[in-house]
Structure 1
Amino acid sequence: MRRILVVGASLAGVSAAEELRAQGYEGELVLVGAEPHLPYTRPPLSKDALLEGIDQTALQLRDEHWYAERGIELRLGEKAVGLDTTHRQLRLADEATLDYDGLVLTTGLAHRPLPPALRLRHAHQLRTLDEAERLSAALAGARHLVVVGAGFVGLETAATARLLGLDVTVLDVAAQPMSKAFGPEIGIWFARRHELAGVRLLLSASIIRADDEPDGTTTIALDSGERLRADCCLVGTGSMPTTDWLRGSGIDLGDGVLCDPTLATNVPDVVAAGDIARWDNEQFGESMRVEHWTNAVEQGVHAAGRLLGSRDPFTSVPFFWTDQFDAKLRCVGRPSIADDVDILRDEDARLVAAFSRGGRIRGAVCVNAPREMAQLRRAIAERTRVSDLTRDCTPATPTAAAAATA
């Protein structure tokens, strides 16, 4: 291959470009990104970066010299809008085209379209560096933050805002936070942590109307009859793979870019990695798409090897984390596919849960429990039965909150 394009200046994209050079690829290598910034890490945008101030240099994955030293051409601020796989050409928003011999797709996620009631001029969303800078400036002059959506980003931002001294209210239609990812048991524990820290949670709540006010505040009317007035509002209603630009290209799509177990697409010399890649994970015997940091790094590396000729399948046990106040949640495996949940420890500052299907452990959540996390990660990889877990993880006496879910 004489020229490889990596489309998406993301963590997965940078990892793929780095691995291509590490494996000896000496041809042209171009990294294309829609944002004008050097590729950066996203997890701190809702946590440390908001708390301590946005430092673009500190957030960069690599500095500009790193790319130059490796002969990686940067095409930043140039959005991909189309792909001709017959003639092997990438089309950019300015109507320029780039030829390629090999292609790595790493365009990541975009915000899910907002419902009409939440299309507000004054409301914030949080995914990009520019959005984080605008939110940080707004929080600096705010007293009351309302967060719509009790997912990871919403709760992390809520925790950060409380540490900054703001009054914080979190709204969600679900009965518990993070319920889509874990079900009610984990959400109940985190709801308790947030409420103890002074966050007000309004769950099972529907927004009837939301309005921008002339003074820059936002008024939100709930189905309960309550009206909230916020001088800063964050809407976190989820994300979706950035794949619209690939429609008509011939690449198979379906909640992401569809890949075989090696991360290859149905089109020759085109692979995908990171948040957009849906692949057959032979470790779990299912098709999955994983939207987390560790997966982006590992898949970027693997996709590079696949493009250069490897045929090894990408098998992994997904791993991700969220930090909220002093609670460090680490999740491994696939809790979302479980039939049963066993709470192995439930304490004021620590939580351990095993998620199983057919009696075999398929996922685990550990909060402030690194030793148990290592043990359960091995158990998932070995497809251990829950009944065979070591006595180090025998159930503790449940708290009232955990017992309420039984």
Structure 2
Amino acid sequence: MSDDRVVIVGASVSGLTVAETAREEGHTGEIVLVGDETRIPYDRPPLSKQLLSGEWEAERLTLRDQAALDGLGLDLRLGTRARSADAEARTVTLDDGSVLDYGTLVIATGVVPNRLPDGHGLRGVHVLHDIEDALRLREALRSAQRLVVVGAGFLGAEVAAVARKLGLTVTLVDPLPQPLVGALGETVGAMLADVHREHGVDVRCGVAVRALVGDGGAVCGVALDDGTQVPADTVLVAVGSRPAVQWLEGSGVPLGRRGADGCDGVLCDGRGMALPGVYAVGDVAAWWDARAGRRHRVEHRLTAAEQARIVGRGLVRPTAQVEPPVPFFWSDQYDLKLQVFGLPAPSHDFHLLSGSLAERRFVAAYAADGVVQAVVGCNMARQLRSWRPAVASATPVGEVLRTAVSA
């Protein structure tokens, strides 16, 4: 076994960033980067925005060109899937039958999209997870007339906005009372529902899907549990995802489950370590958050990159000081740019700090237990950035409100 060999499973932004950071910090040993897609690593946020709309082509999403990848001196194994791991033996078995010994294993396998139990195999039914999904959906939207989006989270709402700009008839369905209510609460969710309706989307929240309806093997509608049926020639299923950890079952790597601990994925400490010599980063990883006093997974691109830099640095300088990442994410819908620091929740108290929801230009704080948990901005990027320290330091909400009034 090579004690300094690093095996990274997952070749998206987090896996690549671990490799790049380790090299920048002076790691000279072997780095194996395993990815189940055949494309070189690419960026995912544009999949539901610029790529889907046709504004960008696929090549623009590439994170590094081949020359830059060659310069990292990686053993790059694309189109290869990890089949299993053994933490005690320190091995990873790939689907081509090869077995990799490792000194350090970094798990960056991300998530897999959930599917509906009835009708998902019909032609015209899509998920949107990787670049091939996005290209297939883009091609479908060019000839489609009626799109139903099942799931009104960030992904579903962004695709609905793109499809309306392309001129499709769009219905947005979700069992929750407002779009993005699970992420941003009812106040912002109600505003977003109004925005989508103003742009011609048929927003049907508070109603669940009973089944996808087919005709001749192709989707023709979506049956809802209120007894109605929405016609559709294309359906996007955007009903969340689950961590890609099936290959780790029985490996000895600690895995969480949704339920009592409220957290699934690979269970890590605040530096991304799951076991000595085993780390996890990105969407698959449940890091300990000292500010919140619990673990959570954050399915956002910039958090994945921050975690990867911490782990890549730690491979060379294990005692380097770590500042817990402050989650940051954004969403583009029509002429709105929503940006978020922290992790808001529907149960948090909502406090408007500046601007107006009616004008779709505001900054707001989300508070729980008397402290700020997150700040959200809509079309006020510069003002929002000034509130990031309040999230990082868990500032008392009263202090934040006093500051906002005096500003």
Distance 1:33 1:16, change over 3 A: same
Superposed, 1:153-172 pairs within 5 Å as: 153-172=155-174
Equivalent pair of 2:148/2:222 in contact (CA under 8 Å)? no
Aligned counterpart for 1:44 among listed residues 17, 41, 46: 46
Q: Which residue of 2 aligns with 1:276?
A: 284
Cα displacement (A) at 1:224: 2.9
What letter matches 2:339 in structure 1?
A: R
Deviation string 1:61-102 (CA, Å, 9 cap, x unpaired) is: 111111111201210000001012222221111222122211
Aligned counterpart for 1:221 among listed residues 223, 227, 239: 223
1-structure distance, mates of 2:285, 2:316? 18
Superposed, 1:299-378 pairs within 5 Å as: 299-311=307-319, 312-336=321-345, 339-344=348-353, 345-378=356-389
2-structure distance, mates of 1:160, 1:200? 14
1-structure distance, mates of 2:348, 2:210? 34
1-structure distance, mates of 2:201, 2:346? 30
2-structure distance, mates of 1:118, 1:394? 51
Aligned counterpart for 2:180 among listed residues 178, 189, 194: 178
Distance 1:301 1:66, change over 3 A: same
Q: How many residue pairs are counted as aligned between the two chains? A: 394
Distance 1:339 1:161, change over 3 A: closer
1-structure distance, mates of 2:375, 2:121? 36
2-structure distance, mates of 1:18, 1:223? 49
Aligned counterpart for 2:147 among listed residues 145, 151, 155: 145
Q: Which residue of 1 aligns with 2:260?
A: none
1-structure distance, mates of 2:59, 2:358? 39
Cα displacement (A) at 1:53: 5.5
Cα displacement (A) at 1:309: 4.0
Q: Which residue of 2 aligns with 1:400?
A: none
1-structure distance, mates of 2:344, 2:53? 30
2-structure distance, mates of 1:124, 1:354? 35
What letter matches 1:292 in structure 2?
A: H
After alignment, is 115-124 or 147-156 more displaced? 115-124
Are 2:263 and 1:261 aligned? no
After alignment, is 335-344 or 99-108 more displaced? 335-344
Equivalent pair of 2:222/2:230 in contact (CA under 8 Å)? yes
2-structure distance, mates of 1:392, 1:32? 48
For structure 1, list consecutive stretches of 5 or more residues without a partner in the other structure: 396-406
After alignment, is 210-219 or 54-63 more displaced? 210-219
Are 2:301 and 1:293 aligned? yes
Cα displacement (A) at 1:117: 5.1
TM, length-normalised to structure 1: 0.92
Distance 1:123 1:337, change over 3 A: closer
Superposed, 1:229-268 pairs within 5 Å as: 229-254=231-256, 255-266=264-275, 268=276
Equivalent pair of 2:164/2:199 in contact (CA under 8 Å)? yes
Q: Which residue of 2 aligns with 1:75?
A: 77
1-structure distance, mates of 2:330, 2:151? 18
Partner-residue secondary structure (3-state), 1:94: coil
Equivalent pair of 2:267/2:287 in contact (CA under 8 Å)? yes
What letter matches 1:137 in structure 2?
A: E
Superposed, 1:190-205 pairs within 5 Å as: 190-205=192-207
Distance 1:120 1:351, change over 3 A: farther
2-structure distance, mates of 1:217, 1:361? 45
Cα displacement (A) at 1:31: 0.7
Equivalent pair of 1:82/1:245 in contact (CA under 8 Å)? yes
Partner-residue secondary structure (3-state), 1:237: coil
Q: Which residue of 2 aligns with 1:209?
A: 211
Partner-residue secondary structure (3-state), 1:201: strand
Cα displacement (A) at 1:271: 1.1
Superposed, 1:58-97 pairs within 5 Å as: 58-97=60-99
Distance 1:199 1:315, change over 3 A: same
Are 2:390 and 1:387 aligned? no
Distance 1:390 1:197, change over 3 A: same
Are 2:14 and 1:3 aligned? no
Cα displacement (A) at 1:334: 2.1
2-structure distance, mates of 1:223, 1:291? 29
Equivalent pair of 2:184/2:346 in contact (CA under 8 Å)? no
2-structure distance, mates of 1:150, 1:278? 24
Equivalent pair of 2:149/2:156 in contact (CA under 8 Å)? yes
2-structure distance, mates of 1:394, 1:238? 38
2-structure distance, mates of 1:49, 1:87? 42
Distance 1:165 1:211, change over 3 A: same
Q: Which residue of 1 aligns with 2:128?
A: 126
After alignment, is 379-388 or 182-191 more displaced? 379-388
Distance 1:376 1:337, change over 3 A: farther
User: Following TM superposition, where does structure 1 have runs of at least 4 consecutive aligned residues deviating by more than 6 angstroms?
Assistant: none
Equivalent pair of 2:147/2:168 in contact (CA under 8 Å)? yes
For structure 2, list consecutive stretches of 5 or more residues without a partner in the other structure: 257-263
RMSD: 1.9
